[in-house]
């Protein structure tokens, strides 16, 4: 049975879309427009949580992009996973750092530059978010292993998960990667899967 994948542009579903391409597994992508009442109602019938992304693989039905990516890596792309408990711990730690630490600040900036009405936007929130993003990107610079991968000597789903958040952070402006971070990030953006998803918008 083909995997069913529900997502939307400019959302966390991008990292799962990327992961599906990296896996090379067959899937059917449905772009969900939650601003359309009829489309939203149809989606809620499939996924009552209303969250994006959402994946159906046989009898497995799950939201949460990071959890989905862990499942996809372990099930369909063992080269992006690890059988070593310590390396899996590193995959978990870096991925959760990406979404709970760096992404939190990127979304703060996004919220106050693009989402809320202009009269409710806060320059303080934007500047604080950018300051914190840069601090976390500096942490990435100092903690990157010499191998150039988040898990030493192995390109994994952690690199994809964190790169998706770094990409959002850079898009918010006012932050930059250090030399080691840039040397890690550029090859990920050059991967065929990344180029394909980026071209789709």
- In this predicted model, what pLDDT tens digit does every residue of 61-70 receive, in sequence order? 999 999 999 9
Distance (Å, rounded) from C-alpha 81 to C-alpha 198?
A: 23
CB 160 within 8 A of CB 125: no
CB 166 within 8 A of CB 137: yes
Question: What's the pLDDT at 200?
Answer: 83
Question: What's the pLDDT at 35?
Answer: 87
Peptide bond into 53 cis (omega under 30): yes
For residue 100, give Cα distances in angstroms to 56, 92, 95, 150, 192. Answer: 25, 12, 9, 17, 27
State the CB neighbour count (10 A cutoff) for residue 68. 23
Distance (Å, rounded) from C-alpha 182 to C-alpha 200?
A: 24
pLDDT in tens, 104-148: 999 999 999 988 999 999 999 999 999 999 999 999 999 999 889
Question: What's the pLDDT at 132?
Answer: 97
CB 175 within 8 A of CB 169: yes
Walk me through the domains of the chain, giving residue ranges and CATH numbers. 3-79 (3.40.30.10), 82-191 (1.20.1050.10)
Token pair 């992304």 in the structure block, residue: 53
For residue 162, give Cα distances in angstroms to 7, 65, 120, 123. Answer: 19, 12, 30, 26
Ranges of residues in the chain whose predicted pLDDT is under 50 = none
| Vertex 18: Cα angle to 2 and 130 (nearest 5) | 145
Choose among 177, 170, 168: nearest CA to 138. 177
Two tokens, residue 22? 């990296």
Question: What's the pLDDT at 10?
Answer: 79
Which pTM was predicted?
A: 0.94
């Amino acid at each position: 049975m083909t995997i069913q994948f529900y997502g939307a542009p400019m959302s966390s579903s991008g990292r799962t879309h990327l992961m599906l391409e990296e896996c090379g597994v067959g899937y059917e992508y449905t772009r969900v427009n939650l601003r359309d009442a009829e489309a939203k109602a149809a989606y809620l019938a499939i996924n009552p949580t209303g969250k994006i992304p959402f994946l159906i693989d046989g009898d497995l039905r799950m939201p949460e992009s990071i959890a989905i990516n862990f499942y996809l890596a372990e099930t369909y792309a063992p080269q992006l996973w690890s059988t070593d408990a310590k390396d899996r711990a590193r995959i978990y730690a870096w991925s959760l750092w990406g979404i709970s630490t760096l992404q939190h600040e990127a979304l703060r900036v996004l919220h106050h530059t693009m989402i809320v009405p202009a009269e409710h936007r806060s320059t303080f929130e934007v500047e604080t978010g950018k300051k914190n993003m840069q601090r976390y990107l500096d942490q990435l610079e100092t903690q990157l292993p010499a191998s150039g991968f988040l898990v030493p000597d192995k390109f994994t789903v952690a690199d994809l998960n964190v790169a998706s958040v770094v990409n959002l952070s850079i898009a918010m402006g006012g932050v930059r990667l250090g030399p080691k971070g840039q040397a890690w990030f550029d090859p990920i953006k050059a991967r065929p899967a990344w180029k394909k998803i980026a071209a789709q918008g």
